[in-house]
Amino acid sequence: MQIDPLGDTALIVRDLVLPSYHVADLLNVSRFPGLIEAVASYETVGVFLDPAEFDYEGFESLLEGLPVLESEKPRRTLSIPICYELGEDLQGVANSLGISKDEVISEHLSHAYLCYAIGFCPGFPFLGYLSRPISGVPRLPSPRAHTEPGSVGITGRQTGIYPIDRPGGWPIIARTPLTLVDEATHYFPIHAGDEILFRRIDESEFNKLKGLRF
């Protein structure tokens, strides 16, 4: 694995021998002196550190000792209800792809998604990968100033969920009623490495489930 500096208080680890989320998990439970947090992205791991305590040579030895597992760690599977009737860009996405709204929905529901990383804003899961018929949707020409919490967007080969009100440029095709982030209580239920299944609901069930947690 390759280690590169990322400023004075962080490193980036590349050429991983395990999935990035698994490496991050192992580092976070290692209690290595000076290691504040390891964060997974798609193919690398960011390591935030206290330079006064961090032993760079010891960290290299730690990485070399990470077990090369024959299989990935067991994944949690989370089922997330979503309402496509609340996807304000669903028709535009269908038009851009040259297929019907029902086909977009069917393809989006067709398989589970791996959460590769959490980023952009607290709790935002980057999920992949979309099936070929609904891949390649561009971002909006101008990002929205506000995106409703729970909005499910797609772009490129990815889908994701805006857990809180934030500006956003991904076309929105659905919305979940669940609360996916509560910073006050440190509630962040989706983690890198989780498997996400979407379940279709109508607006009536959306209203019944509004604000619930896993």
CATH architecture for residues 77-209: Beta Barrel (2.40)
Q: Where along the chain do the CATH 3.30.1360.40 domains lie?
A: 2-64
Q: Are 178 and 150 in contact (CB under 8 A)?
A: yes
pLDDT at site 70: 43
pLDDT category at 84 given cuts 50, 70, 90 is very high
pLDDT (tens digit per residue) in 8-24? 999 999 999 888 998 99
Query: What's 41's DSSP letter?
Result: -
| Torsion, Cα of 107, 112, 115, 119 (10° steps) | 30
The string of pLDDT tens digits covering residues 95-118 is: 999 999 999 999 999 999 999 999
CATH code that applies to domain 2-64: 3.30.1360.40
Q: CA quadruple 30, 52, 121, 23: dihedral positive or negative? A: negative
Asked if omega into 56 is within 30° of 0 (cis), the reply is: no
Pick from 135, 155, 149: which is nearest to 89 by CA? 155
CB 174 within 8 A of CB 6: no
Q: What is the mean pLDDT of the chain?
A: 94
Q: Which residue do the tokens 């076309």 mark?
A: 171
pLDDT of residue 69: 47
DSSP character for 149? Answer: T
Whether the Cβ atoms of residue 140 and residue 156 lie closer than 8 Å to each other = no
| Ranges for all domains in the chain classified under CATH 2.40.100.10 | 77-209
The rounded distance, in Å, linking the Cα atoms of 167 and 14 is 30
pLDDT (mean) for 155-166: 97
What tens digit of pLDDT does each residue of 50-78 get?
Answer: 999 999 999 999 998 887 544 556 679 99
Reported as a pLDDT band with limits 50, 70 and 90, residue 144 is very high
CA–CA distance, 15 with 56 (Å, rounded to integer) = 18
In contact, 120 and 170? CB cutoff 8 Å = no
